[in-house]
Structure 1
């Protein structure tokens, strides 16, 4: 493999070049953090950069791994958006009753609601709100099919704040009202 020059490595950092992830790492002296070439963090000044051939070398020189690009992962390519999506889906599945707004989800994921919405839709084809609605409707359908609970009780147990919202969302996702769904069973 060809040895990269300092200029080639610097160019890779500026361009956030994924192709060179795992080939080299760079540390920023002013922050004591090291990254992959593809890291989307703000570009440092060249005079503050040190280059390393592996994460262990950077760690041995007192640098700590970036929390954004996670250069200490064993795989050569890390996609932070995939981790965000999986964590968001897990959060929604585990907290659908208590989660009501995009702001709730974004706060739990420690990102802005705009970033979460855009990234989630890009990777799943739907917004977090629609995904959350689908989880709630699926749970409500299970309760309608397997219990004799009143519709209002199912509404609140499924995480909806109001009966009118429950009816509206349920009909939008299933094409029928909760009562009609129960009657078809």
Structure 2
């Protein structure tokens, strides 16, 4: 939302001048004279009050034609997990079978209140719910390897088998004995120069990579769980880790091809379109009609557009490279300004890229 209240504008401008860290992520300031937008702590020379506008989200700044500042990197740093949150997540990763209580957090100089607010705002769940998901995922993997439910329960930090069974069934949809044929989808979060994204993966590969503000995200989650007979829980595996590395290299302009395995359920036609999308050259664009023609069915323009819109793996399956017949940018789940940014990013690459 564009801020129009004069008192709030004055408060935000003062925070910008003072580089007040407490306002990071609260507002995004667009500078009319440079067409860039920043966060409160930007080190760049401060613009005059009459030359700025304030937005409540970076997406609104992007949608209004402003580019991310190269100095403060607003879309990364405004959504990056604070140091205390990263420390808390490391505690969970390094102690996968232990419950990290508020007391443990405080002993590690971490404020539980900060952790709770961040997880609720960025994941939509509590920190303790995140922990439970990670512990249940760990137990699920051990059960699949033949470990007994009793051992998995107590090794995961549960004081009773009934408590473990209740939590397990709540998250996995079935009891430990009946769930071993059920798949799980692990969800994690990553930050990019154009906003945070959710990444999901099964044992076979990445099945979703979407910006967290995508409108159809909840529908995509439901479809994935139905199509893959799976539950989505927080966690990581080798595919999410590899994908994070490759996405970082893509934005650093050192990678143009993705090698991480994908697991993208869909119709035969959708699969054909998505495979063809992955063959579109880096830095190039193609019209929907041309894509349909390449598939051997020039009349299937609408069907191709529909399949393109149902792609759940942004960037890696580069639907942003498909444009309208007149050369204009058309619909993109992450927003047209992100689509424009990605295309400009690829065209501006001058470094040597690895495949």
For this structure pair, what is the TM-score category when the shorter chain's length is used for normalisation?
Answer: 0.5 to 0.7
In the alignment, what sits opposite 2:17? 12
- Cα distance in 1 for partners of 2:124, 2:177 equals 30
> Measured at CA, do residues 173 and 10 of structure 1 come closer, stay the same or move farther in structure 2, by a change above 3 Å?
closer
| Selected match of 2:43 from 3, 7, 22 | 22
- In structure 2, list runs of 5 or more residues that go unmatched: 1-12, 24-38, 46-70, 184-355
- Cα distance in 1 for partners of 2:165, 2:172 equals 10
In the alignment, what sits opposite 1:88? 88
The Cα of 1:10 is off from its aligned counterpart by: 8.6
Q: Which has the higher helix share?
A: 1
**Conserved in 2, the CA contact under 8 Å of 1:121 and 1:127?**
yes
Higher relative contact order (CA 8 A, sep 6+): 1
- Cα distance in 2 for partners of 1:76, 1:164 equals 50
In the alignment, what sits opposite 1:173? 171
Deviations 1:130-164 (A, max 9, x none): 111111111111111112x3221111122222212
In the alignment, what sits opposite 1:35? none
Q: TM-score, normalised by structure 1?
A: 0.55
In the alignment, what sits opposite 2:237? none
The Cα of 1:110 is off from its aligned counterpart by: 1.8
Between Structure 1 and Structure 2, how many residues are aligned? 128
| Selected match of 1:153 from 147, 151, 154 | 151
The Cα of 1:81 is off from its aligned counterpart by: 4.2
> Measured at CA, do residues 86 and 111 of structure 1 come closer, stay the same or move farther in structure 2, by a change above 3 Å?
closer
- In structure 1, list runs of 5 or more residues that go unmatched: 1-7, 25-74
- Cα distance in 2 for partners of 1:10, 1:145 equals 53
**Conserved in 2, the CA contact under 8 Å of 1:102 and 1:129?**
no
In the alignment, what sits opposite 2:330? none
**Conserved in 2, the CA contact under 8 Å of 1:85 and 1:123?**
no
- Cα distance in 2 for partners of 1:181, 1:161 equals 21
- Cα distance in 1 for partners of 2:173, 2:114 equals 31
Q: Which has the higher strand share?
A: 2
Q: Is residue 122 of structure 1 aligned with residue 121 of structure 2?
A: yes
Aligned-pair Cα RMSD in Å? 3.5
> Measured at CA, do residues 177 and 126 of structure 1 come closer, stay the same or move farther in structure 2, by a change above 3 Å?
same
- Cα distance in 2 for partners of 1:184, 1:115 equals 35
In the alignment, what sits opposite 2:97? 97
- Cα distance in 1 for partners of 2:149, 2:124 equals 30
Q: TM-score, normalised by structure 2?
A: 0.31
